[in-house]
């Protein structure tokens, strides 16, 4: 009797999980020039872009986007050859632009953005991290046919796109 009860509870849990999974909206669709991605609250934008790049085997791409976010910007310190981070919360992403390339067999994003707060003051720069806040983030990814590679510029220590 306990075994039957266990299997019934397990089956109900599995069906419930599958039902929830079936209700999850798609994160991206294919377009004639690439993809359109819509991310929702709590999604990590850079991680989702990396996953899309791997799943769809994107050789390289340009991207644009907007939405509501919790960004972490980085200002490049040329002397230290590293980014100085600044995290923010509850901002509107007025504009995001970037590129997708590859480094050491992994997707390499280079993304910049401009955000505004409720006071309409703007902040922007290199995006180190980006979580979707309330609402969503919409991204258009335009795929390019050739694989592009990022490499470290020895003079500056910065990652640059090799053509």
- pLDDT mean over 59-79: 96
Q: Which of 68, 35, 66, 73 is nearest to 52 (CA)?
A: 35
Q: Which of 138, 136, 146, 132 is nearest to 100 (CA)?
A: 146
Residue 13 is assigned to a structural domain of this protein: no
Structural domains of the chain, count: 1
CA atoms of 153 and 141, how far apart (whole Å): 26
User: What does each C-alpha distance from 119 to 3, 19, 65, 116, 123 come to in angstroms?
Assistant: 61, 42, 21, 8, 12
User: What does each C-alpha distance from 117 to 36, 45, 76, 88, 123 come to in angstroms?
Assistant: 26, 19, 23, 10, 9
Q: Which of 44, 157, 156 is nearest to 109 (CA)?
A: 44
Dump pLDDT digits (tens) for 112-135.
999 999 999 999 999 999 999 999
Residue 139 is assigned to a structural domain of this protein: yes
CATH number, domain with residue 87: 3.30.1330.80
The pTM for the full model equals 0.83
Residue 115 is assigned to a structural domain of this protein: yes
Residue span of the structural domain in which 138 resides? 26-162
pLDDT at 157 over 90: no
Pairing of strands 60-77, 82-87: antiparallel
Residue 3 is assigned to a structural domain of this protein: no
Residue 104 is assigned to a structural domain of this protein: yes
Residue 89 is assigned to a structural domain of this protein: yes
Dump pLDDT digits (tens) for 73-97.
999 998 998 999 999 999 999 999 9
């Amino acid at each position: 009797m306990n075994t039957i009860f266990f299997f019934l509870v397990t089956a109900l849990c599995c069906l419930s999980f599958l039902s929830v999974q079936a209700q999850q909206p798609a994160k991206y669709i294919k377009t004639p020039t690439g993809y359109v991605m819509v991310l929702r609250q709590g999604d990590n934008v850079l991680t989702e872009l990396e996953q899309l790049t791997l799943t769809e085997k994107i050789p390289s791409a340009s991207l644009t986007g907007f939405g509501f976010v919790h960004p972490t910007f980085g200002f490049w310190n040329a002397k230290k050859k590293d980014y100085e981070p600044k995290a923010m919360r509850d901002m509107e992403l007025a504009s995001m632009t970037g590129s997708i390339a590859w480094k050491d067999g992994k997707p390499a994003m280079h993304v910049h953005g401009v955000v505004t707060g409720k006071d309409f003051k703007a902040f922007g720069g290199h995006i180190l991290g980006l979580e979707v806040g309330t609402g969503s983030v919409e991204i258009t990814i335009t795929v390019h046919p050739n694989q592009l590679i990022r490499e470290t510029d020895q003079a500056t220590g910065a990652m640059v796109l090799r053509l």
